[in-house]
A = this chain, B = another copy of it.
Amino acid sequence: MKLTILGCYAATPRTITNPTSQVLEIRSRMFLIDCGEGTQVQLRKNKLKFSKINHIFISHLHGDHFYGLVGLISTFMLLNRQTDLHVYGPKGIKEIVLLQLRYSNSYTGYNLYFHELDSKESEIVYEDEKVVVKTIPLKHRIYTNGFLFQEKVGDRKLNVDAVQEYKIDTCYYQKIKNGRDITLDDGTVIPNDELTFDPIQPKSYAFCSDTMYDESIIPIIENCDMLYHETTFLESEADKAEKTMHSTAKQAAAIAAKANVKQLILGHYSTRYDTIDLFRQEAETIYSDVLLADDGKTFEF
């Protein structure tokens, strides 16, 4: 998986910081998560081939998480996009986008599907043969979901030396990778584990923003490889975090520790602090593997 942070600062776009948006590349798919104002320019700046984005996940309807969506949809239209585009987000997102397209008398030449969410339970919103995406219900001032991206267990890996030694025809390779044993011409059965290695361990990524400290997400994100958790504030502003239903760095770290995730990325920083390293320092007091998101930064895992 490769995660590119297009924007990870709270509230308003500024000259040097961008509101929330990120691209997750996973098994040749390119998912866009949130789409604050300026996202399409950030996609260009980071040289991401954004015609490859077919699925956009919107956490909630605060402007810093979706004001760039209608512009991106319009740009796809101007670029003569033909491929279907799917948008997953809170109820209302369809009305907001279509109202604007209607007033501009513009219609997409591609199919635009809205998958509106209103469940308060975690649910599968996307699934194909290699990837599944589930919502992570979050607690914020308005209806909000995080998203858990999970690779599915892939094919077993072919043991090339072994299949060649048994002179097995290449036409059986896919069946072997699927786990089948092979019967040779002389009737000997070769068990699959002699012909294959275990598949690559599937990875998972959990995006949790915006949210207050909420332990009820732990069973959903438990043991995931990478957790992005918002940290709008430091503990010194814990009262503000509570009032605005955001998290502090310490709270993000506590969730990471309790959910036993492998690594934690912090983001959604308030711009009131002089350096974002303060967030890392605070989080590291209770969880060791802390990374800092920043606009334009990529993470591979």
Q: Does A38 contact B (CB under 8 A)?
A: yes
Q: Does A41 contact B (CB under 8 A)?
A: yes
- CB-contacts of A154-206 with B (<8 A): none
Task: Mark contacts of A60-103 with chain B using CB atoms, 8 A cut-off: 1 yes-contact digit, 0 otherwise.
Answer: 01110001101100110011000000000010100110011001
Interface residues on A, range: 20 to 34
Q: Complex: how many Å from CA A162 to CA B13?
A: 55
Closest residue of chain B to A12, judged by CB?
B75
Asked if residues A63 and B95 are in contact (CB atoms below 8 Å), the reply is no
Q: Complex: how many Å from CA A12 to CA B37?
A: 13
Known: A12-B78, A40-B13. A61 touches B95 (CB 8 A): no
23 residue pairs A–B, Cβ–Cβ below 8 Å = A11-B78, A13-B38, A13-B40, A13-B71, A14-B41, A15-B41, A15-B44, A15-B45, A37-B68, A37-B71, A38-B38, A38-B41, A61-B100, A62-B106, A63-B106, A67-B70, A90-B103, A96-B100, A96-B103, A99-B99, A104-B142, A105-B141, A105-B142
